[in-house]
C-alpha cells in the first residue's frame, strides 16, 4: 500500500527570520537531519534558504528546503500537505499570519507560533475555531517567552497546589525577579503594528484591555483583574513592582488556559504579572522609571511622526536582533505566588538560560512543536485553538527541563 503520510513531522516556515535561524540551528543540534524526527525549513526566498543551509555546514547538507509565500495560499497549501506540524515565525502575524492559519485549519495540519498579538489571536478564534475543531488542526499560539514560562509556571504551581492542598489556587501573581535580554526588529515591528492597528481601529482598544479577550464567551469569570500598569508596593514579595511589558499577552493566555485545562483552575481566578524592582526609595524610583519609560514608548509609538523616527533611527529593523554573545549571556528568573480560597500559600520559580526573546524562545518553540508531533496524539487532544499549558502540560515541562535550559521548582 502507498504511504500517504506527510513527508515531514515539522516544517519551520520563516526559517530565515532572526528567530527562525536560531531555531534552525537548535533543531539541527537536537534532532540532526535524517533522524527520527523529520523536519525541513521553508521561507519565501530560495536564495536565503540556501544561504542558511550552507551556513549549517555538512550536518545540514541533507536538510530539505521549501519555498512558500505567506500571501500565496496555493504555496501554503502544498507546504502544509507535506508536514504534520508547521512552526511559523513569519511576523508580524497580524500582517502576514492569517492565510497560513486558514490553510492549516482547512487541512487539519497542526500549528505553533510566537505571536504576542492578542487582537490577532481574537480574530483568528472568531474566524477559525469552529473549523479547527472539525478538521482536527491543533493551533497553538504564543509558544515562546510569551507565553510558555508564564502559562506553564501557573500550570506547574496549580499541579503542586492540588497535590499539597487538594485544591488549586484562585489567585496567582507572577513577578519577574531578574531578566536580561533585548528585542529584535520582528518583535518591535509586531509591537508598533499593534499601535498602528489601534490608531486606525479604536474598537481594538477594548479587545486589548479585556483580560478575557481570548477566553470562550461562556468563561464566567467576573473578577476585575488588576493590570498592574502603575508602580506599587507588593507585600507578598516585599518589593516595589513595575509594569511588565509582556503581561498583556501572558495574562490573556493564562486566563484562556484556565478555561481549557482539565477541571479549570478556578471560576474566579485572579492572575497578574509585574517586575520586581526592590525595596525602599531605590525600588520605588526604578518602578516609577519603568512606568514612565513604557508610557513614553507607547505615546511615541501612537503618534505617526515619532513612530517613524523610532522605526527609522532608533529601534532594530526586521531581521536584526541581539548578538550571539548577548543571547548566550541572557537569562530570566520568574517567581510565582499562589493562594487558595482558604488562604493556603505556595510559591515556585521558573528560570531559563539564554536571552528570553531569542535563545530561549527558539528552544521553547522547537520543543513545543516536537511535543505536538511526537507526544500528543490526535486521539488524546483534538482540534481547536489550544494554549501551551492546556495542550502540552507536564510533557512540555519535562522536555524544557531536559533539552531547553528551563527549570521549574517549588520554593519556600
Distance CA 294, CA 380 (A): 42
Distance in Å, CB of 363 to ligand NAP, minimum: 11
- The answer to whether 45 contacts ligand NAP (rule: CB under 6 A) is yes
Closer by beta carbon to ligand NAP, 18 or else 212 = 18
Q: Which residues contact 101 (CB under 8 A, 6 or more apart)?
A: 111, 124, 128, 139
Which segments of 266-410 does DSSP mark as H helices, in order?
280-302, 304-309, 324-329, 361-374, 388-391, 393-403
Identified binder of ligand NAP from the candidate list 319, 353, 395, 405, rule CB under 6 A: 319
Name the one range near ligand NAP by CB under 6 A: 152-160, 180-188, 228-236, 399-407: 180-188
Q: Which of residues 129-148 bind ligand NAP (CB under 6 A)?
A: 142, 144-146
CB-CB neighbours of 304 under 10 Å: 11
Name the one range near ligand NAP by CB under 6 A: 171-179, 183-191, 276-284, 287-295: 183-191
Distance in Å, CB of 86 to ligand NAP, minimum: 12
Q: Is the peptide bond before 185 cis (omega within 30 degrees of 0)?
A: no
- The answer to whether 383 contacts ligand NAP (rule: CB under 6 A) is no
Binding mask 323-362 for ligand NAP (x = CB under 6 A): ----------------------------------x---x-
Name the one range near ligand NAP by CB under 6 A: 17-25, 161-169, 332-340, 384-392: 17-25
Dihedral (CA of 327, 396, 388, 49) sign = positive
- The answer to whether 89 contacts ligand NAP (rule: CB under 6 A) is yes
- The answer to whether 181 contacts ligand NAP (rule: CB under 6 A) is no
Distance in Å, CB of 40 to ligand NAP, minimum: 15
CA-nearest of 163, 158, 169, 271 to 215 is 271
Which DSSP helix (H) or strand (E) runs through 76? helix 73-81
Identified binder of ligand NAP from the candidate list 8, 11, 12, 14, rule CB under 6 A: 14
Q: What is the dihedral of CA 246, 88, 15, 405, to 10 degrees?
A: 50
Distance CA 257, CA 387 (A): 6
Specify whether the CB–CB gap between 150 and 273 falls below 8 A.
yes
Which DSSP helix (H) or strand (E) runs through 332? strand 331-339
- The single-letter DSSP state of residue 97 is T
- The answer to whether 184 contacts ligand NAP (rule: CB under 6 A) is yes
Closer by beta carbon to ligand NAP, 110 or else 151 = 151
Closer by beta carbon to ligand NAP, 52 or else 346 = 52
Closer by beta carbon to ligand NAP, 154 or else 287 = 154
Closer by beta carbon to ligand NAP, 181 or else 338 = 181
Closer by beta carbon to ligand NAP, 231 or else 357 = 357
- The answer to whether 149 contacts ligand NAP (rule: CB under 6 A) is no
- The answer to whether 251 contacts ligand NAP (rule: CB under 6 A) is no
- Which CA distances in Å does 169 have to 172, 232, 252, 347? 7, 23, 17, 11
Identified binder of ligand NAP from the candidate list 12, 84, 92, 125, rule CB under 6 A: 92
Specify whether the CB–CB gap between 41 and 35 falls below 8 A.
no
Identified binder of ligand NAP from the candidate list 70, 105, 112, 176, rule CB under 6 A: 70
Distance CA 168, CA 159 (A): 7
Distance in Å, CB of 374 to ligand NAP, minimum: 22
- The answer to whether 273 contacts ligand NAP (rule: CB under 6 A) is no
Distance CA 135, CA 143 (A): 22
- The answer to whether 318 contacts ligand NAP (rule: CB under 6 A) is yes
SS3 state of residue 324: helix
Identified binder of ligand NAP from the candidate list 32, 56, 69, 326, rule CB under 6 A: 69
Identified binder of ligand NAP from the candidate list 149, 186, 388, 393, rule CB under 6 A: 186
Q: Which residues contact 186 (CB under 8 A, 6 or more apart)?
A: 17, 18, 19, 89, 91, 92, 318, 319, 321
- The answer to whether 16 contacts ligand NAP (rule: CB under 6 A) is yes
Specify whether the CB–CB gap between 296 and 256 falls below 8 A.
no
Residues that bind ligand NAP (CB under 6 A): 14, 16-20, 43-45, 48, 69-71, 89-93, 96, 114, 116, 142, 144-146, 184-187, 190, 318-319, 321, 357, 361
Amino acid at each position: 500500500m502507498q504511504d500517504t503520510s506527510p513527508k515531514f513531522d515539522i516544517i519551520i516556515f520563516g526559517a530565515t527570520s532572526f528567530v527562525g535561524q536560531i531555531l534552525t540551528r537548535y533543531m539541527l543540534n537536537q534532532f540532526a537531519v535524517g533522524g527520527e524526527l523529520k523536519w525541513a525549513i521553508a521561507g519565501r526566498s530560495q536564495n536565503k534558504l540556501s544561504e542558511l543551509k550552507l551556513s549549517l555546514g555538512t550536518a545540514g547538507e541533507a536538510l530539505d528546503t521549501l519555498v512558500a509565500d505567506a500571501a500565496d495560499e496555493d504555496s501554503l497549501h502544498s507546504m502544509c500537505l507535506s508536514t504534520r506540524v508547521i512552526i511559523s515565525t513569519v511576523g508580524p502575524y497580524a500582517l502576514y499570519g492569517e492565510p497560513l492559519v486558514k490553510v492549516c485549519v482547512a487541512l487539519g495540519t497542526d500549528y505553533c507560533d510566537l505571536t504576542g498579538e492578542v487582537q490577532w489571536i481574537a480574530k483568528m478564534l472568531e474566524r477559525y475555531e469552529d473549523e479547527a475543531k472539525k478538521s482536527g488542526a491543533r493551533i497553538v499560539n504564543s509558544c515562546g517567552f510569551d507565553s510558555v514560562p508564564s502559562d506553564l509556571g501557573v500550570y506547574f504551581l496549580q499541579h503542586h497546589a492540588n497535590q499539597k492542598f487538594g485544591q488549586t489556587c484562585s489567585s496567582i501573581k507572577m513577578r519577574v525577579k531578574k531578566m536580561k535580554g533585548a528585542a529584535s526588529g520582528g518583535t518591535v515591528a509586531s509591537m508598533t503594528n499593534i499601535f498602528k492597528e489601534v490608531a486606525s481601529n479604536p474598537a481594538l482598544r477594548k479587545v486589548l484591555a479585556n483580560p478575557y479577550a481570548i477566553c470562550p464567551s461562556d468563561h464566567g469569570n467576573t473578577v476585575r483583574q488588576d493590570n498592574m500598569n502603575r508602580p506599587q508596593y507588593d507585600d507578598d514579595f516585599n518589593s516595589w513592582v513595575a509594569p511588565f511589558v509582556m503581561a498583556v499577552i501572558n495574562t490573556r493566555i493564562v486566563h484562556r488556559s484556565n478555561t481549557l485545562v482539565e477541571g479549570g483552575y478556578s471560576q474566579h481566578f485572579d492572575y497578574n504579572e509585574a517586575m520586581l524592582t526592590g525595596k525602599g526609595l531605590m525600588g520605588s524610583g526604578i518602578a516609577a522609571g519603568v512606568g514612565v519609560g513604557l508610557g513614553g514608548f507607547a505615546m511615541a509609538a501612537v503618534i505617526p511622526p515619532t513612530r517613524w523616527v523610532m522605526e527609522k533611527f532608533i529601534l532594530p529593523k526586521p531581521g536584526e536582533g541581539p548578538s550571539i554573545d548577548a543571547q548566550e549571556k541572557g537569562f530570566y528568573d520568574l517567581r510565582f505566588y499562589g493562594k487558595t480560597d482558604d488562604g493556603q500559600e505556595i510559591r515556585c520559580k521558573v528560570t531559563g538560560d539564554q536571552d528570553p526573546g531569542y535563545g530561549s524562545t527558539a528552544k521553547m518553540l522547537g520543543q513545543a512543536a516536537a511535543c505536538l508531533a511526537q507526544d500528543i496524539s490526535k486521539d488524546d487532544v483534538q482540534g481547536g485553538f489550544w494554549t501551551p499549558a492546556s495542550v502540552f502540560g507536564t510533557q512540555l515541562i519535562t522536555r524544557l527541563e531536559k533539552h531547553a535550559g528551563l527549570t521549574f521548582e517549588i520554593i519556600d
